[in-house]
Amino acid sequence: MAERLTLPVLPLREVVLFPGVTAPIGAGRPATLRAIEAALATPERLVFAVSQRQNVESVNPDVLYTIGTIAKIGQLQRGLSGMQLLLHGEHRGIAIHYTEKEGYLQAVVREAEEMLPLNAEDAAFVALHREARTRAAELGQKSGLPDEVVQQVLAGVNEPGRFADLVAGYIDITPAQRQLLLETLSVEERLRRVLVHVQRQIGVLDAQEDIKSQVQEELGERQREMFLREQLKTIQRELGEGDERDDLQELREKLEGLDLPAEARKEVDRELNRLTRIGRESMESQVIRTFLENIVELPWNVRSKEHLSLPEAQKILDEDHYALGDVKDRVLEFLAVRQLRMQQDAAEKAAEAEEKAERKADEVAQGESTDTPQATATVPPPNTAVKGNDDDRARGPILLFGVLRVSARPRWPRALPARWDGSTSASRSAARATRPISAATGAPTSGPCPAASSMG
């Protein structure tokens, strides 16, 4: 039977000391300082280091565990706030009972005997010991310890029980789990529990490493992109392309402010991305820019009141365009047809209104209706500007003129040669351009052109 010892009690808060492990301890409570002084007065300098069940300031036997560690006080440093000392665990101890003496606690302790395996050479136990050592070495390497230090520490402990206590003293677990390992007297069971904790710690470190690598990769991509963008800005500044980038940004803002249909928006975004990628020296750059600027200037989803005045249209065409008599005539013919359409619609509405008014008058005369007849609509005289209502909006097409500049423009002769059969594309275009327009529908008629007839 193990010898009983009467030792001063050193209460530990949130700390568990294992046999074979040295740990720094800070002491500041009066009862703890008295217990340390009592231990220093003996030659062995032994204390019973036991953990508290609860983190309280005032210590009594009810808040202390039964199993602790018989420890020896090593280096000691005194200070104004207390003491700093190193405790080295010697053996497991079981407190038989606690008593209070001269302002500190002391305990009657006997050394706890470990439960060794029945057969230390058993294959299962040997495999468990080796696996625990291997995993402990892996955990030390993943924690950042040098390989030489890890191998040196592991080589200094050969006994399975001491090895389990050594690993349990340094792995990251809760105080309650440490106390449970301290109270486990079976060496095989302690090794098994330590292996489970070590394996769990390795899994946590692997997960942390994966998360760290993902974060570093993401940050690396962002830093790389930022670095490349700064380089691009520097290169553009050296090449004098800073103003051009400002123009592109302004053009982008204008395009984003347009209310475009889905297909038009897709095409505009595609061309804008092309313009951003290609350089200013590219042949397509000016073409794409002109296209996008025209898109910006077009009145998307904006309608104005239609104003059909042939004299005013003639005046605007003469002021804005030199020559182009045939084209101007076509434009005026188009406007005239639209004016005739509006007059025809107004006349039809007036006729319907008069017919309805007559019916109402007949009904009133016959006593069948009490409604008053409506006023008849007036038909605007021809060759006058016709204005729609406030709700009417222009739905006419947008006319774009493209002029090909040549050194000399041939004129059509009064009579064509006999070999001319109108089969070329130029003859067909001329025939279409001079084809008369129907006053009722505004579309080209299917009959022959008068000018072409006179030519033939």
Distance CA 248, CA 279 (A): 12
What's the mean per-residue pLDDT of the chain?
Answer: 78
Residue 444 has pLDDT above 60, yes or no: no
Query: What is the radius of gyration, based on Cα positions, of the chain?
Result: 51
Q: Residue 330 — very low, low, confident or very high, per pLDDT cuts 50/70/90?
A: very high
Domains present along the chain, CATH in parentheses: 4-111 (2.30.130.40), 114-239 (1.20.58.1480), 242-297 (no CATH), 308-404+430-455 (no CATH)
Could you tell me where the DSSP H helices lie in 3-145?
A: 30-40, 123-142
Q: Residue 431 — very low, low, confident or very high, per pLDDT cuts 50/70/90?
A: very low
What's residue 362's pLDDT? 85
Q: Residue 232 — very low, low, confident or very high, per pLDDT cuts 50/70/90?
A: confident
> Do 388 and 330 touch, CB atoms closer than 8 A?
no
Mean pLDDT of 138-161: 85
Q: What pairs with residue 52 in β-bridges? A: 64
Mean pLDDT of 385-391: 48
Nearest residue to 132 (alpha-carbon basis) of 110, 93, 165, 177: 165
Distance CA 115, CA 187 (A): 6
**pTM (2 decimals)?**
0.49
Highest mean pLDDT: which of 21-30, 240-249, 434-443?
21-30
What's residue 446's pLDDT? 43
* H/E stretch holding 236: helix 187-239
Q: Residue 230 — very low, low, confident or very high, per pLDDT cuts 50/70/90?
A: confident
Tell which wins on pLDDT, 239 or 136: 136
Nearest residue to 14 (alpha-carbon basis) of 174, 197, 181: 174
> Do 32 and 105 touch, CB atoms closer than 8 A?
no
What's residue 75's pLDDT? 87
Mean pLDDT of 5-25: 90
Mean pLDDT of 126-137: 90
98: amino acid identity, one letter? Y
Distance CA 97, CA 50 (A): 13
Q: Which of 109-113, 135-139, 303-307 has the lowest mean pLDDT?
A: 303-307
Q: Residue 3 — very low, low, confident or very high, per pLDDT cuts 50/70/90?
A: confident
Q: What percent of the chain has pLDDT over 90?
A: 21
Q: Which of 116-125, 130-139, 279-288, 294-303 has the lowest mean pLDDT?
A: 279-288
Mean pLDDT of 208-224: 81
Tell which wins on pLDDT, 161 or 419: 161
What's residue 422's pLDDT? 40
What's residue 439's pLDDT? 40
Distance CA 217, CA 389 (A): 65
Distance CA 126, CA 137 (A): 17
Cα distances (Å, whole numbers) of residue 68 to 15, 228, 338, 450 = 11, 62, 107, 122
What's residue 49's pLDDT? 92
Q: Is the dihedral of CA 86, 89, 90, 94 positive or negative?
A: positive
Residue 440 has pLDDT above 70, yes or no: no
Tell me which long-range contacts 319-323 makes (C-beta under 8 A, separation of at least 24): 321/401
Q: What percent of the chain has pLDDT over 70?
A: 77
Distance CA 107, CA 92 (A): 14
Q: What pairs with residue 22 in β-bridges? A: 88
Mean pLDDT of 71-87: 88
| Contact partners, residue 343, CB within 8 Å, separation at least 6 | 379, 380, 382, 386
Residue 12 has pLDDT above 60, yes or no: yes
Residue 276 has pLDDT above 70, yes or no: yes
What's residue 191's pLDDT? 92
**342: which 2 tokens?**
């509006």
250 Ramachandran zone, left/alpha/beta (phi>0; psi -120 to 50): alpha
Q: Residue 65 — very low, low, confident or very high, per pLDDT cuts 50/70/90?
A: very high
Locate tokens 């017919």: which residue? 355
59: amino acid identity, one letter? V
Reported as a single tens digit per residue, the pLDDT across 350-359 is 999 999 988 8
What's residue 454's pLDDT? 36
